[in-house]
Chains A and B, each alone.
Chain A
């Protein structure tokens, strides 16, 4: 699969807005391989962030100078998918490289299956890393705590990104500045809440998103609604028809305004970490991976929250950077990547094999400008209600206990507005994708159900 295979159209539909020419420039230069010593690793996880909520990727409704500079230093993937658009299941994959059905974390507030190593345990025990965690965990404890498996905890975090994230960033900064020279490299996980706070806007729509714009001066600054805001493709009842609680376009647009400010809060906190790396001389050699557990409805298909099989929930940012090792300023639109890949990628840079049966692929060849063989499809769960099979052109959504499926042509219909499943001409496509799903399922090692 070529990196040029996705055209401008497919990129625009992913970003959802006009794209600055600078954003697609690729340095094109290959980076000299750094010394093969184990690099420090900074894994930044955020919560409920759309892949396209970054100004560098063409979103004019948000300003993210720090995520922009991170992307300019590395590679941003435009076909990056959560394994399951729910916090705990997605996180269980990020930290094990296994699907939620295998980790046993098939819904929120469950623990990773006993005996399945997490990223911290693996890199500490197999590669000699100092492993440190700060912020949200949710597997099942909400936040880093003393005695968590695999990590030393920096115990900051309570629940609201607007209140906590600045302190998570500051605490991580303190760790980086105070660490001094140690023989062992570090894996630092900075796990931010934002822009997850938006979750609560739907719980109190009357008081948080009132019918009259609470700040009239913002009227001209409100983001536009997405093109698929009123689109409800055919599907079984589980798909739903969006969130009914806002009612008017103005309220939806204020909701989006708030969401993007939360993304900017996150951006500021990421900036603090990048600054700390620069000032401590670690910026050139530290491998940074930035991603999210899942996306956010953001008014697409009139959705809020996650929980949906559509891209607003499924797609997440995936930005990797390390100036001494990776390409610079590359936006990869061709390769399907998954939250599963974080474990394999970090293990690769740490110089160890990933745990047995890790399902992901190392992104390292893509990050360093090589052309590896790559997957031609990936599978995601969505809640416990179905599965998604994604190939470069199509996306098949299946539903548990429901014969009806959805099929979208992601190249012709990037906003997922037309379900092609009823088109007889697509029967073969559906069958092919079902076969891929069957093969994938056969490889899984499901965990016993948790009580």
Chain B
């Protein structure tokens, strides 16, 4: 029996991001999570309104069957400037895309997109037997982690290779957004598989309901022009983060990473 087609409003947290997903076009091209690819995301902030506030671009280059390089570019608008960051990570092709070595830099730009030089920060790092070591400003410091660790942006790659319902929950420490502060007790686990109508535009349809007193019609949300898309979702919970739900399609491609008010939505036109 085919899976029932569900609405975004049936699923947490897709319901909260429904407006940000208006017009979303599920990708149709072939995708190999272990191959070379580029994923670009618009960053949405969905509080009182819904606004695109930046972009994230991740490019994967396989180095071998066990390793890959991720080139990450990040851009976020600020009230009076632009934040730009870049990261290059060599990582394992394991369940967490565990970082091996990396380099990163960030800089605030003014409203004319000129860099403000004393906001520039560069760092390099590598995984060691006793945890990651990061060199910044000529000084090296060890980051205290318990067990496996990874970066948030590495997880964008890793979740595409996870086995769905067969996933045994992964426990790890998170180091996010070029931080050097470890966030403990992270857990990545399978959430659900569902076929969901994505994209299109929200409309209201009348649904007939027969009661003893007669038929009534009640409005139910639907999406016009939407595409039924088979999805798998994974949950990430832990210290120092709001829970994240990653939604991947049948080919494993990460379409959405949604957490609290912030959503990353796949869009080939997103410019980081």
| A interface residues (Cβ-Cβ under 8 A, vs B) | 63, 66, 141-146, 153-160, 162-164, 166-167, 169-171, 173-175, 177-179, 197, 200, 203-204, 206-208, 210, 214-215, 217-218, 258, 261-262, 264-265, 267-269, 271-272, 275, 279-280
Contacts and interface: CB of A to CB of B under 8 A. Distances in A.
Interface string B71-82: 000001111110
Which size class do B's interface residues fall under?
35 or more
B222 interface: no
B221 to A, nearest CB: 12
What 3 A-B pairs have minimum CB-CB distances, sorted nearest first?
A155-B80, A155-B81, A207-B16
25 contacts: A63-B184, A63-B239, A146-B110, A155-B116, A158-B45, A163-B45, A166-B176, A166-B178, A170-B121, A170-B178, A174-B106, A175-B119, A178-B117, A179-B118, A197-B260, A200-B261, A206-B15, A208-B13, A218-B237, A264-B183, A265-B240, A265-B241, A268-B181, A275-B141, A279-B136
A interface SS class? helix
Given A170-B177, A208-B261, A272-B181, 6 more contacts: A160-B45, A170-B106, A170-B179, A207-B12, A261-B240, A268-B179
A157 B79 contact: yes
A152 to B, nearest CB: 10
B76 A158 contact: yes
Given A171-B108, A210-B12, A215-B235, A163 B262 contact: yes
Nearest to B15: A207
A178 B118 contact: yes
Interface string B258-272: 011110000000000
Given A142-B79, A217-B237, A272-B180, A162 B108 contact: no
A175 B81 CA distance: 16
A162 B259 contact: yes
A142 B261 CA distance: 19
A215 B191 CA distance: 9
Nearest to A264: B240
Nearest to A132: B118
Contacts of A214: 12-13, 243
B196 interface: no
A415 to B, nearest CB: 27
Given A200-B48, A217-B187, A156 B83 contact: yes
A157 B242 CA distance: 19
Nearest to B238: A261
B58 interface: no
Interface in B188-219: 189
Given A146-B110, A208-B260, A264 B239 contact: yes
A271 B176 CA distance: 13
Tell me which of B77, B136, B141, B240 has the highest count of chain A C-beta atoms within 10 A of its own C-beta: B240
Interface in B104-121: 106-108, 110-111, 116-121
B47 interface: yes
Contacts of B260: 162, 197, 208, 258
Contacts of B259: 162
B43 interface: yes
B118 A153 contact: no
Interface string B83-121: 100000000000000000000001110110000111111
Contact of A158 (B78, B178, B242): B78
Interface in B214-250: 235, 237, 239-243
Given A63-B239, A170-B178, A174-B121, A155 B78 contact: yes
A179 B106 CA distance: 16
B237 to A, nearest CB: 6
B53 interface: yes
B81 to A, nearest CB: 4
A154 B16 contact: no
Nearest to B178: A170
Contact of B261 (A162, A210, A269): A162
Contacts of B118: 174-175, 178-179
Given A162-B260, A174-B119, A167 B239 contact: no
A155 B79 contact: yes
Contacts of A262: 242
A63 to B, nearest CB: 6
A63 B240 CA distance: 8
Nearest to A145: B80
A295 B13 CA distance: 27
Contacts of B242: 162, 258, 261-262
A204 to B, nearest CB: 6
Interface string B138-161: 010100000000000000000000
A64 B16 CA distance: 29
A174 B79 CA distance: 19
Contacts of A158: 45, 53, 76-79
Tell me which of A142, A160, A167 has the highest count of chain B C-beta atoms within 10 A of its own C-beta: A167
B262 A166 contact: no
B128 interface: no
A319 B187 CA distance: 32
A167 B47 contact: no
B110 to A, nearest CB: 7
Given A162-B262, A170-B121, A280 B137 contact: yes
Contacts of A279: 136-137, 139, 141
Contacts of A162: 242, 259-262
Contacts of B177: 166-167, 170
Nearest to A203: B48
B96 to A, nearest CB: 18
A315 B180 CA distance: 30
Contacts of A154: 108, 116, 119
Nearest to A221: B237
Contacts of B48: 200, 203
A191 to B, nearest CB: 12
Contacts of B106: 167, 170-171, 174
A200 B141 CA distance: 37
Given A158-B45, A174-B118, A215-B235, A145 B79 contact: yes
